[in-house]
């Protein structure tokens, strides 16, 4: 096959040619969006060449494959990362320069695919980048939502949600794979047939939805591998099984069929919170079934009907329980479609499916009403019941008592609900947590009884982030500085970043590091000025809390502390402190009342400070509108202090914490999730740790003796700040607007905000003093970058491969 060249001159020609052919424009009258399309499709041509070659090779490969199923992939923009991974950045940049195009401006034209809420979805995207870069054969599988996570606007100090129509102008990166279109069936009833003395189960009077796959290439860094992210779109089928409908069923089925495309219409905006909506269950089954049908088809193409080989040749990894129906679906396909018996099918599933848990919050654990499952997926429900029957029988045997209370806690179906996490634990060959602490909590608490039953199934693999996007891509200044100090070995082997440690003591290096940080702050404040009309002073220390808005993440701790600082400044004319800008980035789930209240409070604090010339000398609070991957790429390189304040035991890992650290921000955090491991890496002198430890939190919950009122009574600064929530200080025009926050903190405080406040406030005092000591602060910052290599998702993926997948 002839290969096209992608040197600088060819790139220029390609862009000009595409503008002419597709837009009828010359470069000088093309819009930035047209230029983006021409540029992106040039990069796509280059990737396609590699993709075709890779797939050709892969087709004949007998190696084990990974299917990574996730209801979210929060990929962020692709253009810059693709060029980076193709190692063509210099060619493209020079070509653009010679054409007189502003490369940075053009990159911003790409609509961001917001196909995820937060940590879980972003992790899946980092994993794809690392899988490809380590040349592991993998396919990411998800839903092609027509509307991604809502865009956030702030109006009258409150969040307003705007639909995210990211496909409006087309998506350069996707290719439909029509040869793999398949059907997913819902509803109907199960009939049995006797065939050669065996009972077969057949679904009747169901309605079907067509699943259409769109593939996005994922090019590995500096290698030949191009993996695939497969996104399934739902559309209605034209024909229907008119077997034996009575007229009511027929009308209903027709109606459902017509509504098929709703399934892939929109991403649910709930993060770490479960709601038992039927459409959501339809979504989960939709992409899971389509993926398994494809995986089995591909297996048969490669190995025929030797199904016992499945565990050797593929792994189905489920990213949390959302694709957990992969378990009964694979059994269904093996039994009803391929004719295997229960024991064989069950053996295969139990050696093929691996499960990662991402949360221990009880409100996030996925459970479905049995009625809903039975009506929507009758055959799947039957299989679930049979799995449950067998699991419970084994447990009764094991405990030598059929009524042991542990059995109900471990059952797949109990009290009218299907418990997805129990299904996944019972039927997977591997269950892992996402940080060491979280892995321990799974063993000791969440899945304790299952752990006792099969301890070897459980492991902990600490999350990671791709250092390509989160350092090389988003922080070019720091990347160049690091290369000038220690060379570029860390690009392939990020743990080599440790070679930076001696440079802590090199004053010139520290100053260069500070200069990069300052430039990033300027760049961030320019972006802010152009997006939101806010002027951020880059001479202020930049303190950032950016993550979903959640009570357990305790943005309130930060907000109350700012109020206390405000009062110190206002009450004492001689008070002085290191000037600080507090930036918050956070979306609240549209239906999460408390989260929206907290968001309102933060904005109110920002306005309060803006009104006071005295407070403004030392404080600024900015609420960054529409926090998303591309906003993070500007914000994180500029940050100096990283706020990771979750109640210990609640944040499974956190990954934002790693991104900030890698970019030289110092962490202010609790001993929670991966913060524990960040502390281990940098040492206690290079991190600010405060608050209760996870075990103390657990025992406080158990005892039930916590009284926030006592703390309110004994801490006058805190008391004043709390009172200001309701006395008109924060909300002059509507003093009662935030009263629920006040009441919740005083009379319940389920996340121990007041309890940890004193310790937080003390740690913040230390930050204040340390930042004045420039040398000390910069040493801490350099140490953080230097010790961040272990948090590269390349390390994470290697660990998954060694402990769980065994690919290649």
Nearer to ligand 26Q, 144 or 358 (CB): 358
Angle, vertex CA 679, rays to CA 687 and CA 117, nearest 5 = 95
Shortest gap between Cβ of 591 and ligand 26Q (angstroms)? Answer: 12
The 8-class DSSP code of residue 764 comes to H
Angle, vertex CA 807, rays to CA 802 and CA 808, nearest 5 = 120
Nearer to ligand 26Q, 66 or 461 (CB): 461
Shortest gap between Cβ of 493 and ligand 26Q (angstroms)? Answer: 24
Shortest gap between Cβ of 152 and ligand 26Q (angstroms)? Answer: 17
The answer to whether 141 and 232 are in contact (CB under 8 A) is yes
Shortest gap between Cβ of 550 and ligand 26Q (angstroms)? Answer: 8
Q: Does 372 bind ligand 26Q (CB under 6 A)?
A: no
Q: Tell the residue number behind the tokens 């121990």, with chain if given.
A: 752
Q: Does 188 bind ligand 26Q (CB under 6 A)?
A: no
Shortest gap between Cβ of 124 and ligand 26Q (angstroms)? Answer: 9
Q: What is the DSSP string of 541-587?
A: EEEEEES---GGGTHHHHHHHHHHHHHHHHH-TT-----EEEEEE--
The answer to whether 89 and 83 are in contact (CB under 8 A) is yes
Q: Give the three-state DSSP class for 728.
A: coil
Q: Cα–Cα distance between 475 and 635 in angstroms, integer?
A: 10
Q: Give the residue nearest to ligand 26Q (CB).
A: 119
Q: Give the three-state DSSP class for 135.
A: coil
Q: Does 653 bind ligand 26Q (CB under 6 A)?
A: yes
Among 76, 111, 119, 494, binds ligand 26Q (CB under 6 A): 119
Shortest gap between Cβ of 463 and ligand 26Q (angstroms)? Answer: 5
- Subset of 121-140 contacting ligand 26Q (CB under 6 A): 123
Q: Does 439 bind ligand 26Q (CB under 6 A)?
A: no
Among 373, 434, 491, 598, binds ligand 26Q (CB under 6 A): 434
Q: Cα–Cα distance between 505 and 317 in angstroms, integer?
A: 45
Query: In sequence order, what are the beta bridge partners of 354?
Result: 317, 430
Q: Where are the beta strands (DSSP E) in 604-717?
A: 619-624, 641-644, 666-669, 688-689
Instruction: Point out which span in 33-41, 138-146, 649-657, 731-739 binds ligand 26Q (CB under 6 A).
Output: 649-657
The answer to whether 141 and 230 are in contact (CB under 8 A) is yes
Backbone angles phi, psi at 468, to 5 degrees: -70, -50
Shortest gap between Cβ of 552 and ligand 26Q (angstroms)? Answer: 9
The answer to whether 660 and 666 are in contact (CB under 8 A) is no
Q: Give the three-state DSSP class for 24.
A: coil
Q: Does 115 bind ligand 26Q (CB under 6 A)?
A: no
Shortest gap between Cβ of 696 and ligand 26Q (angstroms)? Answer: 20
The 8-class DSSP code of residue 285 comes to H
The token pair at 122 is 């972003």
Among 70, 117, 257, 413, binds ligand 26Q (CB under 6 A): 117
Q: Does 114 bind ligand 26Q (CB under 6 A)?
A: no
Instruction: Point out which span in 78-86, 128-136, 183-191, 265-273 binds ligand 26Q (CB under 6 A).
Output: 265-273
The 8-class DSSP code of residue 606 comes to H
Instruction: Point out which span in 226-234, 582-590, 646-654, 761-769 binds ligand 26Q (CB under 6 A).
Output: 646-654
Size of the site for ligand 26Q (CB under 6 A): 25
Pairing outcome for strands 314-319 and 65-69: parallel
Q: Which residues of 111-131 are buried (b: 16+ CB within 10 A; e: fewer)?
A: bbbbbbbbbbbbbbbbbbbbb
Q: Does 655 bind ligand 26Q (CB under 6 A)?
A: yes
Nearer to ligand 26Q, 274 or 470 (CB): 274
Query: In sequence order, what are the beta bridge partners of 218?
Result: 227
Shortest gap between Cβ of 413 and ligand 26Q (angstroms)? Answer: 17
Nearer to ligand 26Q, 270 or 543 (CB): 270
Pairing outcome for strands 666-669 and 641-644: parallel
721 in the Ramachandran plot: left (φ > 0), alpha (ψ -120 to 50) or beta? alpha
- Subset of 444-483 contacting ligand 26Q (CB under 6 A): 463
Pairing outcome for strands 458-460 and 430-433: parallel
Nearer to ligand 26Q, 279 or 522 (CB): 279
Q: Cα–Cα distance between 362 and 697 in angstroms, integer?
A: 15
Site string for ligand 26Q, 659-698 (x = CB under 6 A): --------------x-------------------------
Q: Cα–Cα distance between 612 and 623 in angstroms, integer?
A: 18
Host H or E run for residue 369: strand 367-369
Q: Does 274 bind ligand 26Q (CB under 6 A)?
A: yes
Q: Does 271 bind ligand 26Q (CB under 6 A)?
A: yes
Shortest gap between Cβ of 653 and ligand 26Q (angstroms)? Answer: 4
Nearer to ligand 26Q, 99 or 364 (CB): 364
Q: Does 38 bind ligand 26Q (CB under 6 A)?
A: no
Site string for ligand 26Q, 316-355 (x = CB under 6 A): ------x---------------------------------
100 in the Ramachandran plot: left (φ > 0), alpha (ψ -120 to 50) or beta? left
Q: Tell the residue number behind the tokens 């009104």, with chain if given.
A: 611
The 8-class DSSP code of residue 443 comes to I
Q: Does 358 bind ligand 26Q (CB under 6 A)?
A: yes
Among 364, 396, 483, 700, binds ligand 26Q (CB under 6 A): 364
Q: Does 642 bind ligand 26Q (CB under 6 A)?
A: no
Identify the CA nearest to 435 among candidates 356, 496, 353, 324.
356
Shortest gap between Cβ of 361 and ligand 26Q (angstroms)? Answer: 8
Q: Cα–Cα distance between 234 and 259 in angstroms, integer?
A: 10
Among 272, 446, 681, 792, binds ligand 26Q (CB under 6 A): 272
Nearer to ligand 26Q, 358 or 561 (CB): 358
Nearer to ligand 26Q, 366 or 756 (CB): 366
Query: In sequence order, what are the beta bridge partners of 543?
Result: 582, 641
- The residues carrying an active-site annotation are 358, 547-548, 553, 655, 659
Nearer to ligand 26Q, 9 or 445 (CB): 445
Q: Give the three-state DSSP class for 490.
A: helix
Instruction: Point out which span in 111-119, 391-399, 504-512, 715-723 binds ligand 26Q (CB under 6 A).
Output: 111-119
Q: Does 366 bind ligand 26Q (CB under 6 A)?
A: yes
Q: Does 359 bind ligand 26Q (CB under 6 A)?
A: yes
> Can you give the binding site for ligand 26Q, defined by CB under 6 A?
117-120, 123, 268, 270-272, 274-275, 280, 322, 358-359, 364, 366, 434, 463, 651-655, 673
């Amino acid at each position: 096959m002839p290969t096209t060249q992608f040197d600088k001159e060819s790139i220029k020609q390609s862009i000009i040619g595409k503008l002419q052919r597709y837009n009828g424009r010359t470069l000088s009258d093309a819009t930035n969006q047209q230029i983006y399309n021409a540029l992106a499709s040039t990069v796509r041509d280059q990737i396609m060449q590699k993709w075709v070659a890779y797939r050709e090779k892969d087709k004949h490969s007998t190696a084990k494959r990974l299917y990574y199923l996730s209801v979210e992939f929060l990929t962020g923009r692709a253009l810059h990362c693709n060029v980076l991974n193709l190692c063509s950045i210099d060619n493209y940049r020079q070509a653009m320069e010679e054409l007189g195009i502003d490369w940075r401006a053009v990159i911003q034209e790409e609509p961001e695919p917001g196909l995820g809420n937060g940590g879980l979805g972003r992790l899946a995207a980092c994993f794809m980048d690392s899988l490809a870069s380590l040349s592991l054969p993998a396919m990411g599988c998800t839903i092609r939502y027509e509307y991604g996570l809502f865009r956030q606007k702030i109006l009258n100090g409150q969040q307003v949600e705007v639909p995210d129509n990211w496909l409006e102008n087309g998506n350069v990166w996707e290719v439909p794979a029509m040869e793999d279109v398949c059907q997913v069936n819902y509803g109907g009833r199960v009939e049995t047939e006797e065939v050669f003395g065996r009972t077969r189960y057949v679904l009747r009077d169901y309605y079907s939805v067509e699943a259409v796959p769109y593939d996005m290439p994922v090019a590995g860094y500096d290698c030949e591998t191009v993996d695939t992210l497969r996104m399934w779109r739902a559309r209605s089928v034209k024909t229907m099984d008119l077997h034996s409908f009575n007229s009511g069923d027929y009308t209903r089925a027709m109606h459902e069929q017509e509504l098929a495309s709703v399934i892939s219409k929109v991403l649910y905006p709930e993060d770490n919170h479960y709601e038992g909506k039927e459409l959501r269950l339809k979504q989960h089954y939709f992409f899971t079934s389509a993926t398994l049908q494809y995986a089995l088809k591909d297996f048969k193409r490669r190995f025929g009907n030797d199904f016992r080989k499945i565990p050797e040749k593929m792994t189905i990894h489920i990213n949390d329980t959302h694709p957990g129906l992969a378990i009964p679906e694979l059994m269904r396909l093996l039994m009803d479609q391929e004719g295997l018996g229960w024991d064989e099918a069950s053996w295969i599933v139990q050696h093929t499916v691996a499960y990662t848990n991402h949360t221990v919050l009880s409100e996030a654990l996925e459970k479905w009403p049995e009625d809903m499952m039975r009506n929507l997926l009758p055959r799947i429900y039957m299989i679930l019941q049979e799995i449950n029957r067998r699991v419970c029988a084994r447990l009764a045997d094991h405990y030598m008592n059929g009524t042991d209370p542990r059995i109900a806690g471990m059952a797949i179906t109990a009290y009218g609900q299907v418990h997805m996490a129990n299904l996944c634990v019972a039927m997977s060959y591997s269950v892992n947590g996402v940080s060491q602490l979280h892995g321990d909590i799974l063993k000791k608490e969440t899945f304790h009884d299952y752990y006792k039953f099969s301890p070897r199934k459980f492991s902990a693999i600490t999350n990671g982030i791709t250092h390509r996007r989160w350092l090389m891509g988003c922080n070019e200044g720091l990347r160049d500085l690091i290369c000038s100090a220690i060379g570029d070995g860390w690009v392939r082997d990020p743990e080599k970043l440790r070679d930076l440690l001696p440079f802590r003591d090199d004053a010139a290096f520290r100053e260069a590091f500070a200069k990069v940080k300052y430039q990033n702050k300027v760049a961030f404040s320019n972006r802010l000025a152009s997006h939101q009309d806010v002027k951020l002073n880059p001479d202020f220390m930049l303190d950032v809390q950016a993550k979903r808005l959640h009570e357990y993440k305790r943005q309130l701790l930060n907000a109350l502390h700012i109020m206390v600082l405000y009062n110190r400044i206002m009450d004492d004319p001689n008070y002085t402190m290191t000037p600080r800008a507090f930036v918050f980035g956070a979306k609240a789930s549209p239906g999460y009342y408390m989260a929206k209240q907290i968001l309102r409070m933060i904005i109110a604090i920002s306005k309060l400070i803006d009104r006071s010339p005295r407070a403004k000398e030392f404080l600024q609070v900015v609420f960054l509108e529409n926090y998303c991957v591309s906003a993070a790429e500007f914000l994180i390189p500029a940050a100096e202090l990283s706020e990771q304040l979750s109640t210990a035991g609640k944040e499974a890992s956190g990954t934002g914490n790693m991104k900030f650290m890698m970019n030289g921000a110092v962490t202010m955090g609790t001993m929670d999730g991966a913060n524990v491991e960040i502390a281990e890496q940098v040492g206690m002198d290079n991190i600010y740790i405060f608050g209760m430890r996870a075990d103390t939190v657990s025992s406080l919950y158990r005892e039930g003796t916590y009284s926030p009122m006592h703390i309110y009574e004994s801490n006058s600064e805190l008391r004043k700040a709390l009172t200001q929530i309701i006395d008109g200080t924060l909300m002059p025009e509507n003093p009662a607007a935030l009263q629920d926050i006040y009441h919740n903190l005083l009379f319940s405080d389920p996340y121990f905000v007041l309890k940890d406040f004193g310790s937080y406030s003390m740690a913040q005092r230390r930050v204040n003093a340390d930042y004045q000591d420039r040398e000390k602060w910069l040493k801490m910052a350099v140490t953080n970058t230097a010790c961040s290599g272990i948090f590269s998702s390349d390390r994470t993926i290697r660990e998954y491969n060694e402990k769980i997948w065994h690919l290649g």
